């Protein structure tokens, strides 16, 4: 079995889909591994480190005879043209709103698997890329907030006077939000948080945060069986917005993480709310790649909005790529292991396995995922090449 790990084509993507540790384990599964030169350089993984683990350093041309390709982002059209038909390609595919791109993957004849569609079941926890990357995004959001905020986070009692603790409000208490709460607490902030899922209240309070929400009957039913937040009614959103608005006015830092898979990010913080904050306040919008939770957020920038700064960095897990790549590589390895027959050391795709059926996007020249079968159409031969995907990992459930 031949496996290829390319350097990501998007210049804004520093992560890589393998590590020296996973290369060693992939060798044990029976793979001959080629890593494109400098694929891991932005994640502090040198070619020499991959070679020492058992990989061969090659070029993009090595994708042509690979049985398996491990990536971070969805392959570009140029990359697809170099893959052999039947190749297994595993990546964060970000397929929502990209029907033509999904169709082109089907046309290329690859078996494409979307890591972000991993079912939320016990045996898939080690493969949960959304959680591994969102966890890091939540941590980094607080670090970015602290770097942008021009005051200290913890309360300090000094001979010159007392420095009050920063007040941090986290909106969305999923994986990213809970890590943001924990990190802000470690830095000494006074932390509060909100979420539409009832189970989040206990989680927030267990980390030392104060829970802020309108706890009516709709709130009690606001969670899917899969653990995701449901989209709330306009009436509830209005009541929650009123409560949140009065709370935001008292905060120094607001971190938003709310994202609904396959939909634009919900608007949580209006310009009026931002204007009510104190001069020098900071907001970090982790959903900016899907339109943003904060009015005035600018993708890829730190925007001056009224009295505050709104941090809208893209690909936040990629800001700590050296760590993010190690976790992502382990997610991918754990998933790929389920596709390998341990006795024959050959690929074996069992579509009766929930892990495989839930994540499969394309197979045998067709779009096979039910969410995209009716929408994705084969691309015409004259279709222009699509630009590299700019959204990256973070959603799907992405940041939260």
The DSSP code for 293 is S
Q: 194 falls in which pLDDT band (50, 70, 90)? A: very high
The per-residue pLDDT for 195 is 87
* pLDDT (tens digit per residue) in 226-262: 666 677 888 988 888 899 999 999 999 999 998 877 7
The per-residue pLDDT for 386 is 31
The per-residue pLDDT for 225 is 64
Mean pLDDT throughout 209-223? 86
pLDDT of residue 381 exceeding 60, the answer is: no
pLDDT of residue 19 exceeding 90, the answer is: yes
pLDDT of residue 400 exceeding 50, the answer is: no
Percent of the chain exceeding pLDDT 90 equals: 81
* pLDDT (tens digit per residue) in 138-186: 999 999 999 999 999 999 999 999 999 999 999 999 999 999 999 999 9
Residue-wise burial string across 338-371, b where 16 or more C-beta atoms lie within 10 A, e elsewhere: ebbeeeeeebeeeeeeebbbbbbbbbeeebbbeb
Q: Are 33 and 65 a contacting pair, CB within 8 Å?
A: no
* CATH 3.40.50.720 residue window(s) in the chain: 2-127+322-367, 135-319
Q: 395 falls in which pLDDT band (50, 70, 90)? A: very low
Give the rounded distance of the alpha carbon of 107 from its chain centre. Answer: 27
pLDDT of residue 387 exceeding 60, the answer is: no
- DSSP assignment of 209-239, as one string? PEE----SHHHHT-B-TTSPBPPPPHHHHHH
The per-residue pLDDT for 219 is 84
Q: 198 falls in which pLDDT band (50, 70, 90)? A: confident
pLDDT of residue 383 exceeding 50, the answer is: no
pLDDT of residue 376 exceeding 80, the answer is: no
Among the listed ranges 254-268, 276-290, 371-385, which one has the minimum average pLDDT value?
A: 371-385
Active site residues: 120, 125, 128, 131, 228
Mean pLDDT throughout 23-31? 97
Does the 2-127+322-367 domain belong in CATH 3.40.50.720?
A: yes
Percent of the chain exceeding pLDDT 70 equals: 92
Q: Are 375 and 103 a contacting pair, CB within 8 Å?
A: no
Helix or strand (DSSP H, E) at 314: none
Task: Report which of residues 257 and 220 the model is more confident about.
Answer: 257
Q: What is the value of pTM for the model shown?
A: 0.89
Q: 389 falls in which pLDDT band (50, 70, 90)? A: very low
pLDDT of residue 54 exceeding 90, the answer is: yes
Residues 6 or more apart whose CB falls under 8 angstroms from that of 302 comprise 148, 309, 310, 311, 312, 313
CATH code of the domain occupying 135-319 = 3.40.50.720
pLDDT of residue 326 exceeding 90, the answer is: yes
The per-residue pLDDT for 227 is 61
The per-residue pLDDT for 398 is 39
Average pLDDT along the chain: 91
The DSSP bridge pattern shows strands 360-363 and 111-114 to be antiparallel
296 Rama class: left (phi>0) / alpha (psi -120 to 50) / beta: left
pLDDT of residue 397 exceeding 90, the answer is: no
* pLDDT (tens digit per residue) in 82-129: 999 999 999 999 999 899 999 999 999 999 999 999 999 999 999 999
Residues in the chain: 400
- Looking at the chain, which runs of residues are DSSP E strands? 2-5, 32-36, 56-58, 68-73, 88-92, 111-114, 156-158, 161-163, 167-171, 190-194, 210-211, 253-256, 281-285, 302-305, 308-311, 340-341, 346-347, 360-363, 366-367
The per-residue pLDDT for 197 is 81
Residue 158: strand, helix, or coil? strand
The per-residue pLDDT for 374 is 67
């Amino acid at each position: 079995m031949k496996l290829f790990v390319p350097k990501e084509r998007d210049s804004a993507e520093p992560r890589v889909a393998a590590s020296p540790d996973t290369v060693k384990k992939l060798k044990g599964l029976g793979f001959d591994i080629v890593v494109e030169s400098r694929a891991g350089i932005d994640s502090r993984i040198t070619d020499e480190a991959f070679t020492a683990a058992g990989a061969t350093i090659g070029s993009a041309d090595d994708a042509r005879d690979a049985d398996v390709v491990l990536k971070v982002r969805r392959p570009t059209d140029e990359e697809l043209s170099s893959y052999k038909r039947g190749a297994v390609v595993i990546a964060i595919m970000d397929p929502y709103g990209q029907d033509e791109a999904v169709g082109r993957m089907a046309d290329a004849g690859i078996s494409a698997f979307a890591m972000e569609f991993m079912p939320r079941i016990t045996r898939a926890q080690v493969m949960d890329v959304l959680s591994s990357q969102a966890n890091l995004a939540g941590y980094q959001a607080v670090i970015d907030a602290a770097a942008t905020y021009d005051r200290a986070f913890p309360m300090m009692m000094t001979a010159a006077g007392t420095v009050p603790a920063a007040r941090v409000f986290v909106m969305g208490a999923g994986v990213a939000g809970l890590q943001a709460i924990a990190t802000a607490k470690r830095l000494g902030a006074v932390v509060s948080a909100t979420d539409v899922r009832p189970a989040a209240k206990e989680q927030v309070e267990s980390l030392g945060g104060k829970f802020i929400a309108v706890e009516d009957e709709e709130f009690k039913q606001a969670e899917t069986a899969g653990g995701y937040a449901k989209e709330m009614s306009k009436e509830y959103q209005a009541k929650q917005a009123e409560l949140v608005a009065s709370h935001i006015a008292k905060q120094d830092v607001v971190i938003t993480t709310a994202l609904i898979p396959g939909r634009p990010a919900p608007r949580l913080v209006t310009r009026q709310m931002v204007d009510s904050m104190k001069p020098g306040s900071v907001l970090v919008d982790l959903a900016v790649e899907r339109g943003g939770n904060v009015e005035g957020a600018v993708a890829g920038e730190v925007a001056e909005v009224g009295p505050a700064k709104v941090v809208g960095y893209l690909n936040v897990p990629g800001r700590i790529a050296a760590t993010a790549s190690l976790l992502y590589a382990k997610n991918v390895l754990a998933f790929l292991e389920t596709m390998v027959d341990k006795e024959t050391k050959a690929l074996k795709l069992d579509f009766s396995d929930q892990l495989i059926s839930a994540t499969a996007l394309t197979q045998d020249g067709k779009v096979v995922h039910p969410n995209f079968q009716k929408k994705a159409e084969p691309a015409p031969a004259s279709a222009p090449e699509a630009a590299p995907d700019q959204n990256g990992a973070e959603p799907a459930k992405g940041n939260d």
